């Protein structure tokens, strides 16, 4: 019996029938699953994927690189007598499909031969669906010249500031067309877009240098995200702040109250909440690489992760966010659930395999692969900090000695996600309830539950912003995970700050 | 385990030439470059002494770069049919024509010959899922005997790599790569070891498994020491983590702009005078290649000689501006000492009255790029040494240190040894005894 879970999805209709993948993908999928079925495997699926990526990179006023890359192939996953096998190929042909299917079965047989504990999968309803990410302007239809002009203008404007010595800028767009078919009967088609843009100014002063960046979030939307970001209008501010930052006084080490903006918090949440809430880590699957988790399974439902102000919610149903793909690569529908509720750790990101190991009746739908050539693994969901009731001014007003931090800087955390250290992109001193001048070289560090336990206020929903990551490293061979983290600014009391 | 039919064979030299000509003969660009990367790879991954992932992948990629009057575009495809290659060419041409002129554009290099290197080993070429599984089972089995949990990987790959251009540039090479890494868990305690080599037979599974087991068993009871400056013994993997950031920061353009930690230091001492950093592509234990992705030959070169910075990392335009005719490469790094005081880590341990022995660093990131201050955590085996002996395991530290300071506080080091981590490529580096290494905080385990 499945739990009652809120299930929402992005719009489902193909917007352009002419751009749908070649229908022979259906034939490939049928051929693959039939070939595997002969072996007696208990489960199999195939993902066929065509990705198009356009990346434009500028450096020091010039366009340094424009790449338009198409990447296509398929991967077949087989569960045979409780052992996994996976084989993949970029040779998409009638001859290759059965060969790769046989190889996946052979590999699964090998895994099964050593398995003392057989893999089982929790149930999931059969789904047949088409998912199209929402967008107004297809980024691949926007003239290239318009994009390069935008980046050159942004770089030109930041370098008009006398002490800015370097600039960079970039635009990125990706379209994934994917077919997922499983031996259980699920049949899912995807047409997903994602875009992002950014630029940076680097200023030099008195033998030092410092950078200030402007970045849009990575979102599953169209070029409207870039058009609305107003790069040229933002460039003078970014350049001026780069100069102010490099000339700013270095922070004096000590205890400070911190007010963290949404972009900065996206990384703090990602590292200190997102990763430890991955159930495969808690179960030891990543012990040799990404690490394990201090949120061990005995802590679910009882462990105080943070203060009562801390509500961290996984929402893979929010349109435009990176993990809102309708279904994961287990064919499980995207969901919304609590990770931390009123400060207590209550939920994990799971897939069909790991959910079974902790007695959950359904996967949370967080099993994703970064390519046709990668096997899906548990990934962080769109975990966000729920808004509170304060205004941004309220957060600042109640601080006697503090620092307001925007954006991302240095970051590092131990392999169980306890001891972390973060910098930022820009820092302002707060004194007696007022934001003062910028600071430089601010680094704060702490222990995750102690840090989140010091949270005493979160700004309201009007301040909520979303930021995403497409380079979340995990797995061997390494994969890049995609997810969005939303937050309103939040305040943390008496955090240990050192000079970087 | 049965044996599937073999994969379609990897793209051979003549086939790459044929594919490249399909593009080069049709291109209307002033310059055209075709790059090949065709790889067959597999990884067997285990955790909790069980196989959790077992994968095998064939991925071929061809990339076409076209330039018209300094306007450049690049397109890539995984489809090697003639129609797809012509489509990639058309896309690259379209992008190039719409691109702004790049003031730093240079035509492709025109090298016709490259050093011949044995970058592919037949035993690795022949390895498949069954061999990887056998090696994984060997490590798991040794851990089971000790009642310990094993997590790790065994991987192998064969790649065909090529680059060709309309001006006659042509290079092709087969390369193999084999890797093993293992984390042994003894309850909360962990021990680790890793290897990478062209030859699967050189992974030394048993020896490295015993090393990881030993570290895990010695870590069973932990002491907590306060943060502060310590005499440290960094094993080669930990040194590799620091050296890698040095390599990444040697960019000549950043040097010129004053945004490099090395700015103004070319010809100046940057390390202890005993240390020399070289690229040794012919070394049998390094992953040397005949040519780079830009079509440049890979040669032996010296970057830091007896502590003095001799070389920077150049893009071709910056090299031209500096009059650098032979661009040095760094795919086979070796850091060595002129007078190593020891041959093994254990010899350094015997020299130390009180020190922290570090197996590996993890999650290393820059804190201050101006002086290359880095941070990161110790991982999978951190020990207290007293009176020349390991006396206890200690909770992991966070460090805050610049390799440019640390490598000037060298007390002694060993001969270079093989090192690879999850955050570095393969290097040869010594273990080092370093004074006043800064640990800024301690974690819970």
Q: Tens of pLDDT along B227-253?
A: 999 999 999 999 999 999 999 999 999
pLDDT of residue B4: 53
CA distance A490 to A60: 35
How far is C-alpha B80 from the chain's CA centre?
29
Closest by Cβ to A289, choosing from B100, B130, B422: B422
Name B356's bridge partners: B232, B384
Best residue in B57, B133, B148, B155 for a mutation probing chain A (most A CBs within 10 Å): B57
CA distance B338 to chain A (A): 33
Show the 3-state SS of chain B.
CCCCCCCCCCCCHHHHHHHHHHHHCCCCCCEEEEEEEEEEEEEEEEECCEEEEEEEEEEEEEEEEEEECCEEEEEEECCCCHHHHHHHHHHHHHHHHHCCCCCCCCCCCCCCCCCCCCCCCHHHHHCCHHHHHHHHHHHHHHHHHCCCEEEEEEEEEEEEEEEEECCCCEEEEEEEEEEEEEEEEECCEEEEEEEEECCHHHCCHHHHHHHHHHHHHHCCCEECCCCEEEEEEECHHHHHHHHHHHHHCCEHHHHHHCCCCCCCCCCCECCCCCEEEEECCCCCCCCCCCECCCCCECCCEEEEECCEECCCECCHHHHHHCCCCCCCCCCCEEEEECCCCECCHHHHHHHCCEEEEEEEEEEEEEEECCCCEEEEEEEEEEEEEECCEEEEEECCEEEEECHHHHCCCEEEEECCEEECCCCCCCEEECCEEEEEEEEEEECCC
Q: Cβ B365–A96 below 8 Å, yes or no?
A: no
CA distance B155 to chain A (A): 9
A286-317 residues labelled b (16+ CB within 10 A) or e (exposed): bbbbbbbbbbeeebbeebbbbbebbbbbbbbb
Chain A residues 464-483 within an 8 A CB cutoff of chain B: 476-477
Chain A residue at shortest CA distance from B372: A500
pLDDT of residue A22: 54
Among A454, A447, A455, A446, which Cα is nearest to A487's?
A455
- Read off the tokens for B18: 């044929």
CA dihedral B391, B395, B401, B406 (to 10 degrees): 10
Q: Check: CB of residue A435 under 8 Å from CB of residue A404.
A: yes
Strand (E) or helix (H) holding A70: strand A62-80
A283 touches chain B (CB under 8 A): yes
Among A101, A85, A105, A10, which Cα is nearest to A48's?
A101
Name A177's bridge partners: A50, A191
Q: Check: CB of residue B391 under 8 Å from CB of residue B385.
A: yes
pLDDT of residue B340: 80
Q: Give chain B's domains with CATH numbers.
A: 13-211 (3.30.2290.10), 221-445 (no CATH)
pLDDT of residue B341: 77
CA distance A297 to A300: 6
pLDDT of residue A476: 97
Q: Peptide bond before A294: cis, by omega within 30 degrees of 0?
A: no
Name B65's bridge partners: B33, B74
- Chain A contact set for B368 (CB, 8 A): 441, 500
pLDDT of residue B112: 83
Write out residues in chain B with pLDDT < 50, as ranges.
none
Q: Cβ A373–B57 below 8 Å, yes or no?
A: yes
CA distance B7 to chain A (A): 8
Q: Cβ B8–A208 below 8 Å, yes or no?
A: no
pLDDT of residue A24: 86
Angstrom CA distances, B14 to A91, B19, B21, B85, B293, stand at 19, 9, 10, 17, 19
- Chain B contact set for A73 (CB, 8 A): 59, 78
Name A466's bridge partners: A486
CA distance A319 to A490: 24
**How many Cα neighbours within 13 Å face the side chain of B50?**
16
Q: Cβ A90–B61 below 8 Å, yes or no?
A: yes
- Chain B contact set for A441 (CB, 8 A): 368
pLDDT of residue B6: 56
Find the angle CA(B358)-CA(B360)-CA(B364) to the nearest 5 degrees: 115
Q: Give chain A's domains with CATH numbers.
A: 17-247 (3.30.2290.10), 254-499 (no CATH)
- Chain B contact set for A64 (CB, 8 A): 102, 104
- Chain B contact set for A284 (CB, 8 A): 47-48, 149, 151, 185
Name B232's bridge partners: B356, B434
Among B178, B177, B182, B188, which Cα is nearest to B138's?
B182
Chain A residues 208-247 within an 8 A CB cutoff of chain B: 208-209
CA distance B341 to chain A (A): 32
Write out residues in chain A with pLDDT < 50, as ranges.
1-17, 20-21, 23
The interface pTM score, or ipTM, of the predicted complex is 0.95
Q: Cβ A414–B377 below 8 Å, yes or no?
A: yes
């Amino acid at each position: 019996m499945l739990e009652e879970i809120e299930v929402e999805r992005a719009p489902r209709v193909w917007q352009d029938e002419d751009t749908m993948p070649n229908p022979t993908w259906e034939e490939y999928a049928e051929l693959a699953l039939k070939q595997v079925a002969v072996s007696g495997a208990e489960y199999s699926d195939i993902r066929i994927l065509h990705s198009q990526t356009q990346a434009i990179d500028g450096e020091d006023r010039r366009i340094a690189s424009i790449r338009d890359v198409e990447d296509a192939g398929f991967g077949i996953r087989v569960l045979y007598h409780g052992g996994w096998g996976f084989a993949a190929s970029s040779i998409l042909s009638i001859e290759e499909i059965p060969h790769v299917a046989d190889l996946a079965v052979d590999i699964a047989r090998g895994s099964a031969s050593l398995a003392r504990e057989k893999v089982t999968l929790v149930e999931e309803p059969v789904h047949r669906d088409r998912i199209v990410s929402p967008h107004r302007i297809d980024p691949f239809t926007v003239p290239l010249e318009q994009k390069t002009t935008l980046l050159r203008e942004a770089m030109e404007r930041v370098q008009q500031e006398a002490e800015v010595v370097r600039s960079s800028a970039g635009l990125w767009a990706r379209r994934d067309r994917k077919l997922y078919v499983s031996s259980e009967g699920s049949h899912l088609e995807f047409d997903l877009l994602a875009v992002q843009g950014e630029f940076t100014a680097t200023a030099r002063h008195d033998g030092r240098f410092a950078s200030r960046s402007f970045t849009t979030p990575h979102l599953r939307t169209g070029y409207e995200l870039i058009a609305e970001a107003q790069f040229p209008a933002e460039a003078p501010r970014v350049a001026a702040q780069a100069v102010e930052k490099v000339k700013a006084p270095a922070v004096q080490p000590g205890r400070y109250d911190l007010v963290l903006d949404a972009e900065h918090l996206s990384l703090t949440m990602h590292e200190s909440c997102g990763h430890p809430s991955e159930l495969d880590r808690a179960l030891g699957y990543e012990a040799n690489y990404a690490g394990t988790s201090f949120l061990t399974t005995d802590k679910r439902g009882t462990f105080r992760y943070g203060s009562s102000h801390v509500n961290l919610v996984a929402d893979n149903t929010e349109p435009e966010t990176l993990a809102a793909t309708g279904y994961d690569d287990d064919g499980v529908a995207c969901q919304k659930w609590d990770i931390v509720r009123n400060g207590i750790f209550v939920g994990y990101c799971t897939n069909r395999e790991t959910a079974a190991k902790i007695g959950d009746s359904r996967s949370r739908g967080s099993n994703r692969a970064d390519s046709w050539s990668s096997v899906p693994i548990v990934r962080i969901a769109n975990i966000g900090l729920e808004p509170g009731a304060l205004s941004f001014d309220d957060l600042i007003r109640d601080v006697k000695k503090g620092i307001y931090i925007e954006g991302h800087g240095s970051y590092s955390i131990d392999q169980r996600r306890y001891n972390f250290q973060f910098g930022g992109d820009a820092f302002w001193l707060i004194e007696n309830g007022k934001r003062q001048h910028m600071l430089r070289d601010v680094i704060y560090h702490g222990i995750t539950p102690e840090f989140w336990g010091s949270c005493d206020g979160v700004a309201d929903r009007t301040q909520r912003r979303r930021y995403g990551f497409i380079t979340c490293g995990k797995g061997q061979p390494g994969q890049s995970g995609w997810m969005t983290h939303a937050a309103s600014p939040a305040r943390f009391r008496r955090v240990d700050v050192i000079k970087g | 385990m049965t044996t599937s039919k073999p994969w379609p064979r990897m793209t051979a030299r003549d086939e790459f030439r044929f594919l490249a000509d399909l593009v080069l003969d049709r291109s209307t660009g002033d310059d055209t470059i075709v790059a090949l990367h065709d790889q067959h790879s597999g990884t067997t991954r285990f955790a909790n002494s069980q196989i959790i992932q077992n994968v095998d992948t064939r991925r071929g990629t061809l990339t076409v770069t076209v330039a018209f009057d300094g306007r450049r575009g690049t397109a890539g495809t995984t489809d090697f049919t003639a129609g797809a290659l012509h489509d990639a060419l058309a896309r690259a041409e379209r992008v190039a024509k719409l691109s702004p002129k790049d003031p730093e554009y240079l035509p492709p290099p025109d090298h016709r010959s490259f050093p011949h290197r044995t970058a592919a080993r037949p035993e690795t070429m022949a390895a498949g899922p069954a061999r990887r599984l056998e090696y994984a089972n060997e490590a798991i089995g040794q851990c089971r005997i000790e009642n310990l949990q094993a997590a790790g990987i065994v991987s192998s790959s064969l790649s065909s790599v090529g680059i060709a251009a309309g001006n006659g540039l042509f290079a092709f090479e087969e390369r193999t790569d084999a890797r093993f890494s293992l984390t042994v868990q003894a309850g909360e305690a962990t021990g680790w070891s890793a290897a990478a080599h062209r030859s699967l037979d050189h992974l030394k599974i048993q020896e490295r498994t015993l090393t990881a087991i030993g570290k895990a068993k010695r870590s069973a009871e932990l002491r907590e020491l306060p943060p502060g400056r310590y005499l440290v013994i960094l094993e080669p993997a930990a040194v590799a983590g620091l050296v890698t950031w040095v390599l990444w920061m040697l960019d000549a353009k950043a040097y010129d702009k004053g945004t490099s930690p090395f700015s103004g230091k070319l010809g100046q001492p940057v390390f202890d005078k005993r240390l020399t950093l070289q690229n040794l592509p012919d070394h049998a234990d390094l992953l040397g290649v005949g040519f780079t992705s830009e079509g440049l030959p890979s040669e032996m070169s010296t970057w830091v000689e007896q502590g003095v910075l001799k070389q920077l990392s150049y893009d071709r335009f910056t090299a031209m501006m500096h009059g650098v005719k032979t661009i040095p490469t760094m795919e086979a790094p070796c850091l060595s000492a002129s007078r190593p005081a020891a041959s093994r880590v254990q010899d350094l341990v015997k020299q130390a009255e009180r020190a922290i022995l570090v197996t590996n660093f993890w999650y290393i990131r820059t804190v201050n790029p101006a002086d290359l201050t880095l941070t990161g955590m110790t991982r999978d085996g951190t020990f207290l040494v007293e009176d020349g002996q390991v006396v206890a395991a200690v909770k992991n530290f966070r460090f805050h240190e610049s390799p440019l300071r640390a490598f000037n506080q060298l007390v002694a080091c060993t001969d270079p040894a093989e090192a690879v981590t999850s955050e570095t490529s393969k290097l040869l580096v010594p273990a080092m005894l370093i004074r006043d290494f800064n640990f800024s905080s301690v974690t819970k385990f």
